[in-house]
Amino acid sequence: MINLLESLRAIAREDQILQNEPMSKHTTFRVGGPADVLFLPEGEEQLIGALEAAKAAGVPVVVIGNGSNLVVRDGGIRGLVIAIGEGMAAIARTENVLTAWAGASLARVAAYAQASGLSGLEFASGIPGTLGGGCAMNAGAYGGQLADCLVDAQVYLNGEVRTLTKDVMQMGYRTSLPLREGGIVLSARFMLTPDDPEAIAARMRELNARRRDKQPLNFPSAGSTFKRPEGYFAGALIEQSGLKGLAVGGAQVSEKHAGFIVNAGGATASDVLALIERVQDAVEARFGVRLETEVRILGED
């Protein structure tokens, strides 16, 4: 670890390198123990430099965005966590093509497109993730998904930066080639459609009003906890199993939308994970369907 810290200090400022950093500060669930080292890169060169330094030092690496789809266990994460955020959040437009870098929030990308009079990303305006993780997971909502308008992505994969076309990205329901093979999305380009900015804004307001009406945005969470099982809706299965409001410690199945587990106050990661398992067991017992988590679960107890 000493060698890694020396390498990081050679390419970045001290305030970009945080030791024993609580992951509860870097996840939207507000749970999680400390990372040995958390690094905040400012640009692709620093990101790749940190990855290479960790490899040379034999230190395991986890790459995250803003932590909107994560549960980090209470023991934290051993090794290096790289959090891609504001240091890699540029957005640019060339005619009808919008380019966004990995750390840009999907809400900002959607707002930039709207202000530029470009339609196609309205669905993303309320998704609480960043472009890099969103692209890797093919984030979507209300009938739209990033794959619908993706042109290509710059991906760090197997030690090199590659441009992967939409077809090569192999984007499916909450999956892509980079996600499956350990690649890191650095930036992506989207082909959008010119439209009146106010008409785009109206559609965004409508979608966000629906989100506020149906989702428990007043509590910390990681978004939808479970993937949609084929032929079903996770939230409906959970509600029909009588689990709305079920709690373990400070973790609770949302009373507003059963597809969300929320931090109702003082939850630990152990609370969240125990509640996830209880929900999975109850739904499987009643419907014969084993719900798969959509959230990533990282770290150790």
> Which of 174, 180, 287, 300 is CA-nearest to residue 236?
287
Q: Find out whether 28 and 130 touch, Cβ atoms under 8 Å.
A: no
Residue 12 has phi, psi (to 5 degrees) of: -150, 165
| Helical spans, DSSP H, in 35-176 | 44-57, 106-115, 131-136, 166-169
Residue pair 125/201 in contact (Cβ under 8 Å)? The answer is no
| Neighbour count for residue 242 (Cβ, 10 Å) | 11
Separation CA 74–CA 249 (nearest Å)? 14
Annotated catalytic residues are: 174, 224, 294
